[in-house]
Structure 1
Amino acid sequence: MKKYIGLVVVLTLLVSMFAGCTKKEETPTAPAETTPESTEPAAATDAVTTASVVTEGPALISALSADGAWLAATLNDITLTEDLVVEGEFMNKDKIARKLAPYTQDAEHNITASFTITAPRMIVKSENFKFQGGTFIGDIYVEANGFQVATATVKGNIYYATEAYMQSAVISEDSNIENAQIGGMAAEATDAVTTASIVTDGPALINALSAKGTWLAATLNNITLTEDLVVEGEFTNKDKIARKLAPYTQDADHNITGSFIIRAPKMIVKSENFKFQGGTFVGDIYVEANGFQLSTATVDGNVYYASQAIMDSAVLAEDAVVTGVKEVK
C-alpha cells in the first residue's frame, strides 16, 4: 500500500509540472492527492521526454548541459561550488527555448513554493533561456540572445557579452535584480563577438592570448598566474592588425564600470599592435613587437622594449601609469 501511494505522488508531480507545454508555458506543480489521469495536461506526454526534475547539484548541472533537457525544475534549494553552465540548443513547441524553474505551483498555476539556486556564476550560452519563479544567488553571464527573468530574483550582477544580447533580454516588472545589469562586457564587443574571448581564469586567459586565441581577450575578475603571460600571433579587427587585453567591464556608453588586475611574473608581447586597456598588470612587460599600447591602464612594474624602434612605436596614453622604468633592454 505504501508503495502504491508513493507511486501516485511521484506520477502526479511529474504530470503537473509539465503544464508548460500547453498554451500557457508553466512549470512544476506540487504533488496533489489525486490520480494522474485526473490532472494530466494535453501535452504532458511530449514534455515528459524533454524535461528534468532535479533535487541536487550534479543533476541540475547535467539537466542544463548540452546533453540535458529544455526544461529543468528544482524542488528544493540547491547550492553549487562550481559554475552553472546553460548550453545547447533545445526546442519547445517548435521554437528555440530553455528554462530553469525553481518552484512548485498549484492547479491554478499559482506559485506555492519558490527555491534558491546558489552558485559562483551562471553562464548562459543557450538562446531564449528563461529563469523563472525562484532566486539565483551569484552573478549571471549572458552569452546568447533572448535571456529572460520572470517573477524571479537575482542576487548579483547580470553581465551581457554584447550590447545586442542586453537589448534582446526581457526582465519582467515583477523580477528583482539586486545589483547591476552591465552590457558589453568587453570594449568593442559588438564588432568582435565572433572573435573575442571572455575569460575568468588563468588557463583560459593564456589560451585566449596564444597564437591560437582571439584578437580580443576580456576578463571579468582578477586573475593571478604563476607562469608568464605570452601574447603571440597575428590577428585582425576591421581589416587591421590588432590585439587587445581588456580586463574591465563597461556600460552602454562605454564608461568603465569595473576594472580588474592581472598578475604574472612577466607579460611577453610578441603580437603587433597589442593594446592593454582598462585594468592593472602586476609584473614586468617585455615588448617584442611594434605598436604596443597602454590606455587607461596601470603597469605595476617595468616595461622593457626589445629595441629602440619598438619603443618609439609604442603609444602610452596620458591616463596610463607605469610605476617602474620604460627602457630598451
Structure 2
Amino acid sequence: MKAKFRLLVISVLAVAMLTAMTACGNGNGSGDSEKSSGSSADAVTTASIVNDADALVKALSKDGTWIVATLGDLKVDQDIVVEGEFHDKGDASKEIYRKLALYTQDENHKITESFKLTAPKMTVKSENFKIQGGTFVGDVYVEAKGFTLDKSATVDGNIIYTSDEFKNAATVDGKVTGKTSVDAVTSASIVNDADALVNGLSKDGTWMVATLGNITVDKDIVVEGEFHDKNDPSADIYRKLALYTQDENRKITDSFTLTAPKLIVKSENFRLQGGTFKGDVYVEANGFNVHKTAKIDGNVYYANDAIQKSAKIEGEVSGNQEVK
C-alpha cells in the first residue's frame, strides 16, 4: 500500500507540474505568469519531470529537453553537463532558451516547494540556460551566453565563467554563496585516456588539451575546429596540446608521449608543447607550431608550401619535413 500511495503522489505531482509548466517561459522566481498559446499538453510534451539522478542527467544532456523539473531533492554523484540547443517550450520558432526548475508551483504559478540538487559540478554549455527555484549545491562552470540565476534560486558554491563574454552576458539575481570569477583554464580538457583525448581535440573539443601521462591511440587523431586563446572569442585564434605537467612557476615537471598512427592538424595556429608525439603529422592549416620543449618522433607533411612557410618548428623532428 505504501508503494502504491507513493506512486500515486508522484503521479499527481507530475500532472500538476505539467499543467503548471505551460506558463514556465521566461518569467521570474515567484512563478511564471506567461500563458501558452497552445494547449497544456502541447506546451509540455518535451518537458522532463524527473525524480532520480540518472533521469536528470539525461534530461539536461544534448539529447534531453528544453525544461527539466524536479519533484524532490536529488543528489548526483557525477558532473552534470547541460548541452545542446533548445527553444522555449520546445518550439523551434521561439527564442533559444532552457530551464532547470527546482520547485513545484500551484495553479497561480506561486512556488509551493523548493528542492536541492547536489552534484560535484554543473557545466553549462547550452545558451540562455536558467536555474529557477531551489538550490544547486556545487560549483557552476558557464561556457555559454545568457546564463541566468533567477532571484528565487541559490547556487551553494562558486560560479566560474570561462570568458569575460559569458560573464557579461549572464544575469545573476539569485544568491551565490561562493565566489564569482572568470577562469579561462577551466575550459581546458585534462585527459588521461585515448577517447577523452580524441574528443578533446575534435571540433567539439576545447582550446587546450593537457595529458596526465603517456597515451596510445589506435586510430588517427584529427585536430579540427576554430578555437581562441583561453576560450576568449576576442583573443587570437589558438589551440594547444600540452604533453606535460608543470609547477606553480610554470616549469615542466613531467613530460609524456602520445602515440598514434597520424595526427592530422586542421585547426589554425595549433601548438604542440612539451613531451613527444610519436607518429606522422599531417598539417592542413596555417600557423602550426612545435614548441622548443616538444618533439615529433616521425615525419611532418604539409598540404602546401604556404602552410609550411607559416609553420614554426622550434622543437625536434626526427623524420622529414616536406610538402606532400
C-alpha distance in 1 between matches for 2:161 and 2:180: 11
C-alpha distance in 1 between matches for 2:161 and 2:102: 23
Write out aligned runs for 1:68-147 (5 A).
68-92=64-88, 94-106=94-106, 109-147=109-147
- Does the residue aligned with 2:146 lie in a helix, a strand or coil? coil
Letter in 1 for 2:84: G
Q: Deviations over 1:22-81 (max 9, x none)?
A: 37747899xxxxxxxxxx998633333132211101111222233332211112221222
CA RMSD in angstroms, aligned pairs only: 5.2
Match of 1:168 in 2: 169
Structure 2's unaligned 5+ residue stretches are 229-235, 282-287, 298-311, 319-324
**Residue 244 (1) aligns with residue 240 (2):** yes
Instruction: Answer yes or no: is the 8 Å Cα contact 1:98–1:129 preserved in 2.
Output: yes
Letter in 2 for 1:160: Y
C-alpha distance in 2 between matches for 1:86 and 1:215: 15
Letter in 2 for 1:141: Y
Instruction: Answer yes or no: is the 8 Å Cα contact 1:20–1:26 preserved in 2.
Output: no
**Residue 274 (1) aligns with residue 264 (2):** no
The counterpart of 1:207, out of the listed 198, 208, 211, is: 198
Structure 2 CA distance for partners of 1:258 and 1:90, relative to 1, 3 Å? farther
Q: Deviations over 1:96-117 (max 9, x none)?
A: 2211111233555444432222
- Does the residue aligned with 2:56 lie in a helix, a strand or coil? helix
C-alpha distance in 1 between matches for 2:204 and 2:59: 30
C-alpha distance in 1 between matches for 2:64 and 2:19: 16
Q: How many residues align?
A: 267
- Does the residue aligned with 2:166 lie in a helix, a strand or coil? helix
Residue 168 of structure 1 and its aligned partner are, at CA, apart by 1.4
Match of 1:225 in 2: 213
- Does the residue aligned with 1:88 lie in a helix, a strand or coil? coil
C-alpha distance in 2 between matches for 1:258 and 1:111: 50
Residue 144 of structure 1 and its aligned partner are, at CA, apart by 2.4
- Does the residue aligned with 1:140 lie in a helix, a strand or coil? strand
Q: Deviations over 1:153-195 (max 9, x none)?
A: 22333333433222211111x3215133325447xxxxxxxxx
C-alpha distance in 2 between matches for 1:50 and 1:78: 21
C-alpha distance in 2 between matches for 1:155 and 1:129: 18
TM-score (norm 2): 0.59
- Does the residue aligned with 1:95 lie in a helix, a strand or coil? coil
TM-score (norm 1): 0.58
